[in-house]
A and B are shown apart, each in its own frame.
Chain A
Amino acid sequence: MQSASTAEAPPAAFNAAPSPVRRLLATDRRGFVFCLVVAGLALLPVAGLVSFAIGGGGRVWPSLIANVLPRAALTTATLLIGVALVAALVGIGTAFLVARCRFPGRSVFEWALLLPLAMPTYVMAYAWLDVIHPLGPLPTILRALLGIDDPRGLPLPELRSAGGAIFVIGLVLYPYVYLPVRALLLMRSAALGEAARTLGAGPLRIFFGVSLPTVWPAAALGLALVMLETLNDIGASEFLGIRTLTVAVYTTWTVRGSIEGASQIALAMLAIVVLVMALGRLARRNLPAQSGRTQRRTSERRLRPLGGSLAFGACALPILLGFGVPGSYLAGAALSRFMERGIPAGLLSAALNSVVLAGLTAAITVAAGLALAIAVRGARNPAVAPLAGVAGLGYAMPGTVLAVGLLVPVAALDNRIADLVRAMTGEAIGLVLIGSGAALLLALSLRFLTISARTLDAGLERISRSIDGAAQSLGASRRRIARDIHLPLLAPPLASAAILVFVDAMKELPATLLLRPLDFETLATSLYGEAARGTHEDGAMAALMIVLVGLAPVIALIRRR
């Protein structure tokens, strides 16, 4: 997380605050302790992985180094860069169009551009594979138009490739960039760009010289999430036969039965991710501080018919490819299943489980993320910011790895509790934490904490610190400042954070599969159950429900503004 306290010097008003205020800040331990606790929780899965890793020798490494890792590393790098490029291009481009230009359909595009976010990557992969299979709708229509009989006569791009995976994953993840960039553009005036234009700069030069640097902090935040999500992806890459490092972790574990080896690779990957993130933070430090002034919307350019049509096409395409095509495919498959067999048993309870689980996860991560962001903002203690960074570790490792690592300490604690209760009452209560779903909730909360913390951190950044200083000089407590000043101003980023986490938790698969209690299905797990059996058409209804339930809040979020 970006540490506000190091990013910019406190404003003058703040420095002028009377010394009791400073003392109050210096003695505020609550934030520090909270960060310490959350960081400790986030380190639990890492500790679990370490305990696995040291239990094994180096048996898996020679063959991995010789045959797998170099290629997997290259594939992973290709995928990361490709997806980041797609997400940046689509996310930043469309954000500029809808925030700065007026053209037909813009008011719909504003929220519709978020739709692909509701698609799980693995569902996108299934859907697209079916759509462009030689027997699928698209090539069949094309062949009919071209008069070709033999499916081999119409070569199509191979989706089971790095390019295919970049296409599928990039389309799902670009909203992570679109959302913060659009928000930033709505808050900042276009005055700089206007000034550049009056000085005779061309549109390209304005975009790269003025506009892009302005939105870069928001885009970087989005891209960091995009890259971590990509690194986490197992569903789509495995389905498309992409051999990434994450897939290598899986294969080592599931095919070769070596959790020890898998943990070793996972820890090595985690170290690299942490290093990259730390470097990214250093790079961000050197960015000029953003001014916190918000502006009303200014200077939208009304596009001429030709430009308007181009803008329309540029915004419609990602929605069509990322939502329209797979969504209508899913709807068609779900409808035909429904006609044949009605609603599958258990689907509604799975939907309820999904909503409750995702809702609780969103509530916990938003509350904890807010506390973290506020603690970092007011921190005088230099240890707070790094601790808050550690708290976000859960997002930096694949979901399964997090879940397996978490199993060890949670199960140990669970057994302690059970033994204690048995000693006291003679009752066998079984495993309370795992059996109640608390372990699963902890895993998901640790996993998505970063999303909410980063979103709220960015939101807090926009609140001028002189407000805090002024309130404090009037004798307001930190708690009161948080409650009466920060919270109301933070309503939009709070909603964003809650919705991003909710949608992500709805889609989450690997940790949910491993840690859920007996007889607890979510939409994602029941969909996976069908897909693993090779009957993903049977899972179409579950997939559709994930999309629909994920959509409602997304649309609500955007339309409220």
Chain B
Amino acid sequence: MTTRFIGAALLGLALATPALADGTVNIYTTREPALIQPLLDSFTADTGIAAKVVFVKEGLAQRVETEGANSPADLLSVVDYGNLIELVDRGLTQPVDSAALNEAIPANLRDPAGNWFALSMRARVIYAAKDRVTDETLTYEDLADPRFKGEVCIRSGQHPYNTSLIAAMIAKDGVDATRTWLEGVKANLARKAGGGDRDVARDILANLCDVGIGNSYYVGLMRSGAGGEEQKAWGEAIRVILPTFKDKAGTHVNISGAAVAKNAPNRDNAVKLLEYLASEKAQEIYAKANFEYPVRPGVAADPIIAALGPLTVDPLPLTDIAKHRVEASELVDAVGFDG
């Protein structure tokens, strides 16, 4: 009896295999569903193409790679430049030559060969206590300044948002200077490195620390009330400073982006989706719903984000940052940053 039931259920599962129809596009993403769903819903409404998603946090590259020639993946959407490059390096992408994309996305935010495209940007900014920190400007290096002893809050040094920032510093100043800086920041920690970026703002409100690092879009999520009244108070407790490195060149940003999978069964739909994601309409959703910086020139950031001040992007090429990612991660361990 039981075995018969299991057999039937398995058969049912097997029959439920999604058909590779013309009217679909399959997205493998490391982006949280809530961030990407509004964009996909709007795409489906406009084109009639059904979008199927699987949100894979870790191992997206492994999954596509092992799935091989018959993989249903059409579009690979990831956060962090390093992850995009990994997809290209493993040969999991294919070049796309689209006039619409080349026009919409600045040249430094896409692969010259068309293997990847950035779709949104986020800045790594400093959250400072409104009522306790008087500085109008700060550099990333300032976080290691002894005057902030016992006052710094930050998430794990191993988090990609932080390893990317550390890699940028290695690219600029070398490993030794970066190690000294990391040790300085560690000596300034008010609590163990951990939690998320929003916890930094909450801990500033709780007077556990005075300064910390977080991503720009969290400020929008908190201050807009999207996360509830409680989070509004966290967002209001901080002053946001767009920092630079000590060379004053600009603020460290990271990207989210996408690539068309090498074996995409619905390649044309994948390109259509990419073009849609770079369109004005979608770029506005990125800005309004997710509080990210649009990559398309002429699309304004959300007012909450625009109010943080004009963003000057650090001109250090993303490729230089990617080169030092592993070094940065190893440095975090060597310093024992996460305690």
Chain A residues within CB distance 8 Å of chain B = 63-64, 66-68, 71, 129, 133-135, 150-152, 158, 160-161, 239-241, 243, 250-251, 253-257, 259, 336-337, 340, 356, 360, 363-364, 367, 400, 403-404, 407-408, 411-412, 414-415, 418-419, 428-432, 434-438, 441, 510, 513-514, 516-521, 525-526, 528-530, 532-535, 537-538
Partner of B194, one of A240, A516, A517, A521: A240
Q: Is the interface of A mostly helix, strand, loop or mixed?
A: helix
Asked whether, in the complex, the Cβ of A432 is within 8 Å of the Cβ of B17, the reply is yes
Asked whether, in the complex, the Cβ of A428 is within 8 Å of the Cβ of B192, the reply is no
The residue in chain A whose Cβ has the minimal distance to the Cβ of B90 is A257
Asked whether, in the complex, the Cβ of A436 is within 8 Å of the Cβ of B265, the reply is no
Asked whether, in the complex, the Cβ of B3 is within 8 Å of the Cβ of A367, the reply is yes
Partner of A513, one of B2, B56, B227: B56
A151-B208, A533-B34 are contacts. A360–B6 as well, Cβ < 8 Å? yes
Cβ-based interface call for B58 (8 A): yes
Chain B residues within CB distance 8 Å of chain A = 2-3, 5-6, 9-10, 13-18, 20, 26, 32-35, 52-59, 62-63, 66-72, 82, 86, 156, 158, 160, 163, 191-198, 202-203, 205-208, 218, 221, 227-228, 265, 325-326, 329-330, 333-334, 336, 338-339
Asked whether, in the complex, the Cβ of B163 is within 8 Å of the Cβ of A364, the reply is no
Asked whether, in the complex, the Cβ of B67 is within 8 Å of the Cβ of A414, the reply is yes
Asked whether, in the complex, the Cβ of A533 is within 8 Å of the Cβ of B62, the reply is no
The 9 closest A-B pairs by CB, nearest first: A241-B194, A411-B66, A533-B32, A67-B333, A134-B206, A518-B52, A418-B70, A534-B196, A435-B17
Partner of A66, one of B15, B86, B334: B334
CA distance A534 to B15 in the complex (A): 36
Q: Could you say which residues of chain A place their CB within 8 Å of the CB of B18?
A: 430, 435, 517-519
CA distance A368 to B90 in the complex (A): 39
Q: A66-B334, A431-B70 are in contact. List 16 more A-B contacts (CB 8 A).
A: A151-B206, A151-B207, A254-B160, A255-B329, A257-B326, A400-B59, A407-B59, A429-B20, A430-B18, A430-B20, A436-B17, A437-B16, A519-B53, A521-B55, A534-B198, A535-B221
Asked whether, in the complex, the Cβ of B193 is within 8 Å of the Cβ of A241, the reply is yes
**9 contacts across the A-B interface (CB closer than 8 A):** A64-B333, A160-B191, A253-B58, A255-B160, A363-B6, A411-B67, A437-B16, A513-B55, A535-B221
CA distance A334 to B58 in the complex (A): 27
What's the minimum C-beta distance from A237 to chain B, rounded to whole angstroms?
11
CA distance A302 to B207 in the complex (A): 52
Q: Could you say which residues of chain B place their CB within 8 Å of the CB of A525?
A: 55
CA distance A530 to B55 in the complex (A): 12
Residue from the set B59, B330, B339 with the largest chain A CB neighbour count within 10 Å: B59
Asked whether, in the complex, the Cβ of B339 is within 8 Å of the Cβ of A241, the reply is yes
Asked whether, in the complex, the Cβ of B197 is within 8 Å of the Cβ of A534, the reply is yes
What's the minimum C-beta distance from B86 to chain A, rounded to whole angstroms?
5
CA distance A240 to B160 in the complex (A): 17
Q: Could you say which residues of chain A place their CB within 8 Å of the CB of B14?
A: 432, 436, 438
Asked whether, in the complex, the Cβ of B35 is within 8 Å of the Cβ of A533, the reply is yes
Asked whether, in the complex, the Cβ of B265 is within 8 Å of the Cβ of A428, the reply is yes
What's the minimum C-beta distance from B234 to chain A, rounded to whole angstroms?
9
Q: Could you say which residues of chain B place their CB within 8 Å of the CB of A430?
A: 17-18, 20, 70, 72, 265
Q: Could you say which residues of chain A place their CB within 8 Å of the CB of B13?
A: 436-438, 441
A152-B207, A534-B218 are contacts. A429–B194 as well, Cβ < 8 Å? no
What's the minimum C-beta distance from B278 to chain A, rounded to whole angstroms?
23
Asked whether, in the complex, the Cβ of A251 is within 8 Å of the Cβ of B158, the reply is yes
Partner of B59, one of A152, A414, A514, A530: A514
Asked whether, in the complex, the Cβ of B32 is within 8 Å of the Cβ of A529, the reply is yes
Asked whether, in the complex, the Cβ of B16 is within 8 Å of the Cβ of A436, the reply is yes
Residue from the set B69, B194, B265 with the largest chain A CB neighbour count within 10 Å: B194
Q: Could you say which residues of chain A place their CB within 8 Å of the CB of B17?
A: 429-430, 432, 435-436, 517
Asked whether, in the complex, the Cβ of B59 is within 8 Å of the Cβ of A404, the reply is yes
A241-B194, A428-B265, A526-B33 are contacts. A63–B334 as well, Cβ < 8 Å? yes
Partner of B192, one of A160, A364, A437: A160
The residue in chain B whose Cβ has the minimal distance to the Cβ of A340 is B228
Asked whether, in the complex, the Cβ of B6 is within 8 Å of the Cβ of A364, the reply is yes
CA distance A483 to B241 in the complex (A): 72
The residue in chain A whose Cβ has the minimal distance to the Cβ of B10 is A438
What's the minimum C-beta distance from A78 to chain B, rounded to whole angstroms?
14
CA distance A364 to B2 in the complex (A): 9
The residue in chain A whose Cβ has the minimal distance to the Cβ of B222 is A534
Q: Could you say which residues of chain B place their CB within 8 Å of the CB of A129?
A: 195
Partner of B71, one of A250, A431, A532: A431
Asked whether, in the complex, the Cβ of B326 is within 8 Å of the Cβ of A256, the reply is yes
Asked whether, in the complex, the Cβ of B20 is within 8 Å of the Cβ of A528, the reply is no
The residue in chain A whose Cβ has the minimal distance to the Cβ of B55 is A529
What's the minimum C-beta distance from B144 to chain A, rounded to whole angstroms?
20
Q: Could you say which residues of chain A place their CB within 8 Å of the CB of B56?
A: 513-514
A430-B20, A533-B32, A538-B34 are contacts. A135–B202 as well, Cβ < 8 Å? yes
Partner of B58, one of A256, A432, A513: A513
Asked whether, in the complex, the Cβ of A431 is within 8 Å of the Cβ of B336, the reply is no
Q: Could you say which residues of chain A place their CB within 8 Å of the CB of B206?
A: 133-135, 151
Asked whether, in the complex, the Cβ of A254 is within 8 Å of the Cβ of B58, the reply is yes
CA distance A151 to B317 in the complex (A): 43
Q: Could you say which residues of chain B place their CB within 8 Å of the CB of A538?
A: 34, 227
Asked whether, in the complex, the Cβ of A532 is within 8 Å of the Cβ of B338, the reply is no
A134-B206, A241-B194, A513-B58 are contacts. A532–B32 as well, Cβ < 8 Å? yes
What's the minimum C-beta distance from A122 to chain B, rounded to whole angstroms?
13
The residue in chain A whose Cβ has the minimal distance to the Cβ of B20 is A430
Q: Could you say which residues of chain A place their CB within 8 Å of the CB of B3?
A: 367
CA distance A411 to B20 in the complex (A): 17
Partner of A519, one of B52, B156, B203, B338: B52
Q: Could you say which residues of chain A place their CB within 8 Å of the CB of B192?
A: 158, 160-161, 241
Q: Could you say which residues of chain B place their CB within 8 Å of the CB of A526?
A: 33
Asked whether, in the complex, the Cβ of B62 is within 8 Å of the Cβ of A259, the reply is yes
